Amino acid sequence: MVTAALMAASGQTIEKVSQHLGVTEPISIAGPADADFVKTRKLEKFLVSAGLYENQDEAVLREEVLGRLDQIVKLWVKQISRNKGFSDQLVLEANAKIFTFGSYRLGCFYFGICQVHGPGADIDTLCIGPRHASREEDFFVELHTILADMQEVTELHPVTDAHVPVMKFKFNGISIDLLYARLALWVIPEDLDISQESILRNIDEQSVRSLNGCRVTDQILRLVPNIQHFRTTLRCLKYWAKRRGVYSNVTGFLGGVNWALLVARICQLYPNAVPSTLVSRFFRVYTQWRWPNPVMLCAIDEGTLGLPVWDPRKNPRDRMHLMPIITPAYPCMNSSYNVSLSTLRVMMEEFQRANEICETLETNKAEWNVLFEAYPFFEAYKNYLQIEINALDDDDFRKWKGWVESRLRQLTLKIEKHTYGMLQCHPYPCEVVDDSRKGRHCAFFMGLQRSQGVPQQEGQQFDIRATVDEFRHSVNMYMLWKPGMELHVSHVRRKSLPTYVFAGGVRPVRPLRSSAVISKSALRPTLSHSVSQLPKSDSGITDEDLEDISGGAERLKRKFQTPDDVVLGKRHHSSPSMNGRLNSGDESIAASHSPLVTSNKQLVMGGEEVLENIMKQGLEVYSAEEELEALNEVSTSVLRRDDSAEQLHSKFEQESDRGQSRLSVLTSGSCSFPNGVVDELEPTTAFGGPLAGAVGNTDSQRKPVIRLSLASTSSAVGALDVF
């Protein structure tokens, strides 16, 4: 493992990059100092100790698996060519090729996932076949049959109805995600160049999306000034994102390609920096980035084939994207369309925390392990949604879990929409399993809190019965549903969380406070200690008690008159409602402030403020005039949305005041994004209002009224009392 730091330590010199990559000039072309090399060596030592580099035996095994897979698809295409009556000459020339992309191709593949536990990451692969090899019959039937008959292949699972159809399986224990692209060629040459635009001519949309992964990966590697520095930095940032719970495209955070694009842009802005500096600058820049201005590695290519590209000036739906990160290969798309208001808020808070730690690291007052402390998700909120998934066998469970997980983002969006953005939902991107239970099952959790700036009102409730019911209904429409596939949604207070969500199955002891006046910032993890390590006292008052005390004597009186546990009302048999949806028992939810909040103003900082703040931190640039020009280009863009985050927040309040049943500023029926993803946020016809008791409702209730009153009931989901 040769890096710039090791090269410097051995007396080798590093040639400065002078070429200009990216849509703007670099912010700084300054080279690394001796202290930067020292920090980089410490960073790499930490990454090695964390197990983020595979050993030589593992690398050889992966190469062998990919080589074997390439042989299999070549035999497969010859077999189907023969079955379709092609001549012996054409059968002999028939060919297919395997390409890799994603983390493996970028050179930062490693085992760890959530909290660095669990199976290794998948190798993203693409099979390119000729025009006579169809996806539906030949790839998902013939090739599937060949793989199913092989002893080396296990957990074979085709996902034919995905946005990008994929075949998932393990080959000699190595997880593989295999995509398929069908080109308009009779013979696939061995030296095929997929970077050419002409390769997209006369192929179907699914093949275009499948090819896009490889084309984007190759473009990223072409657009970074130093590939080795890029790989080390990306490995570091992906590990950080997983430790902090913000690595998951499917739940509304960022996935592998998103992080790669963000890191690549920082490499362009600081072309001569070493990984330790790039990590620090990553958080400094994106803490002050003016979302929703897009992150782009190069200018958007309009192309000549007429394929749709991301452009909010022409496509109104593109203006709805909150955190656009644009892919550099034609057709250019927004790779982060899944990001919601809630997940954007969480990521901005994490960027801010990391930036503060990096500033401390630069003064040698902290170590790298502080940056990578695991996020204490199950201690950060008072109220959670628990989504339990059950199935009878491994195959059914794998399919059912994949389907439910793909719908979780819709639940987050619907909660935001139906509460007019007043209730924020923080999805936990990792599944949790209770090893003591029999059968196949897992659970997902979401933290709930009132949005920043929403005033507290005595007795105010958020009614999300229709929201949860709508989510259940959409999940139960799974076409491959089988008996035993079950879904349970329930509310859980922090004090009632199951012990299997905690490390070692042991619930951490929450510290006590000596004062009834506690700031929210005191509950937030700091550089030197986490929430579970806050100082103790002998007061005997819990955090929940203190929050009720600070809220008023009346709430405190109500608290101690009734049990503190919040449970969802009595379940009843599901039955069709008047509007065709299912009526099912839900649970009432009580949510209060979480300490992790941020101001919308931080997300829309002006270009002048960005410049002033960055200049105050002493960036090394080659001239003040060039820095001014570079930062103006970096922090502003001609591709703007009509509404800033602050204007969106204002519209949330306006919509709430009018008591409307849908948020027009975020949704307009079912909207299709440029890459084909449909944001299914249909209006609810039998919606009782997100603020029961606060917003008038003239429509008759079509669902049983279940509201939280802190009375002792057996089980409930729906009204959310925020106190």
> How many other C-beta atoms lie within 10 A of the C-beta of residue 315?
15
Q: Which residues pair with 167 in a beta bridge?
A: 158, 178
Contact 344, 603 (CB under 8 A): yes
Contact 632, 611 (CB under 8 A): yes
Active site (annotated) includes residue 177: yes
Q: Which two tokens stand for residue 387?
A: 């989504």
Half-sphere exposure of 523 (CA within 13 A, CB side): 22
CA dist 421 and 407 (Å) reads 19
Backbone angles phi, psi at 446, to 5 degrees: -135, 130
DSSP 431-484: -B--TTS-SEEEEEEEEEEEPTTPPP-TT-EEE-HHHHHHHHHHHTT-TT--TT
CA dist 714 and 570 (Å) reads 6
Task: Identify which of 57-61, 115-119, 338-342, 602-606 has the greatest average pLDDT.
Answer: 338-342
More confident residue, 563 or 88: 88
Residue among 174, 176, 278, 265 at smallest CA distance from 229: 278
Contact 464, 609 (CB under 8 A): no
- Determine which one of 36, 78, 81, 124 is catalytic: 124
The sheet that has 123-129: what strands, in order across it?
A: 97-101, 123-129, 174-182, 166-171, 153-159
Q: Are strands 575-576 and 582-583 parallel, antiparallel or unpaired?
A: antiparallel
Contact 226, 17 (CB under 8 A): yes
CA dist 723 and 720 (Å) reads 10
More confident residue, 720 or 709: 720
Model confidence at 607, pLDDT cuts 50, 70, 90, reads very low
* Mean pLDDT lowest among 66-80, 308-322, 657-671: 657-671
Note the helical H segments in 304-430. 341-362, 368-371, 377-380, 394-418
646 pLDDT higher than 90: no
- Determine which one of 28, 81, 103, 342 is catalytic: 103
Separation in Å, CA 36 to CA 4, 68, 354, 379: 10, 43, 18, 35
Active site (annotated) includes residue 375: no
Residue among 399, 354, 401, 358 at smallest CA distance from 375: 354
Backbone angles phi, psi at 169, to 5 degrees: -165, 170
Active site (annotated) includes residue 36: no
Contact 467, 584 (CB under 8 A): no
* Mean pLDDT lowest among 12-16, 113-117, 616-620: 113-117
CA dist 298 and 565 (Å) reads 53
Which pLDDT score, from 0 to 100, does residue 603 have?
32
Active site (annotated) includes residue 149: no
- Determine which one of 238, 242, 399, 559 is catalytic: 238
Task: Identify which of 470-474, 532-536, 547-551, 584-588 has the greatest average pLDDT.
Answer: 470-474
Model confidence at 636, pLDDT cuts 50, 70, 90, reads low
Cα torsion 666, 668, 669, 670 to 10°: value is -70
More confident residue, 419 or 324: 324
Which pLDDT score, from 0 to 100, does residue 69 have?
96
- Computed over every residue of the chain, the mean pLDDT equals 73
- Determine which one of 36, 138, 177, 396 is catalytic: 177
Q: Which two tokens stand for residue 535?
A: 């100082």
- Each residue of 493-526: pLDDT tens digit? 999 999 999 988 888 887 655 433 333 333 343 3
Give helix 394-418 / helix 341-362 axis angle, nearest 10°: 90
- Each residue of 232-254: pLDDT tens digit? 999 999 999 999 999 998 899 99
CA dist 542 and 536 (Å) reads 11
- Each residue of 320-353: pLDDT tens digit? 999 999 999 999 999 999 899 899 999 999 999 9
Q: Are strands 153-159 and 383-391 parallel, antiparallel or unpaired?
A: unpaired
Contact 686, 466 (CB under 8 A): yes
Backbone angles phi, psi at 250, to 5 degrees: -70, -30
User: What is the arithmetic mean of pLDDT over 386-390?
Assistant: 93
The DSSP letter of residue 533 is G
Q: What is the 3-state secondary structure (H, E, C) of 19-76?
A: CCCCCCCCCCCCCCCHHHHHHHHHHHHHHHHCCCCCCHHHHHHHHHHHHHHHHHHHHH
DSSP 273-341: --HHHHHHHHHHHHHS--TTSPB-SSPPP--SS------TTT-GGGGG-SS-BB-SSSSP-BTTTT--H
- Each residue of 421-449: pLDDT tens digit? 888 899 999 899 988 888 889 999 999 98
Q: Which two tokens stand for residue 22?
A: 């990216």
What does the angle CA 226 – CA 228 – CA 233 come to, to the nearest 5 degrees?
95
CA dist 66 and 465 (Å) reads 48
3-state helix, strand, coil in the chain (%, to 5): 40, 15, 45
Which pLDDT score, from 0 to 100, does residue 631 have?
55
| Amino acid at position 248, single letter | S
Q: Which two tokens stand for residue 315?
A: 């496509």
Which pLDDT score, from 0 to 100, does residue 680 have?
29
- Determine which one of 110, 239, 247, 286 is catalytic: 247
CA dist 200 and 332 (Å) reads 13
255 pLDDT higher than 50: yes
More confident residue, 131 or 589: 131
pTM of the model: 0.72
* Mean pLDDT lowest among 43-47, 285-289, 495-499, 512-516: 512-516
Q: Look up tokens 């030949």; give the residue.
A: 138
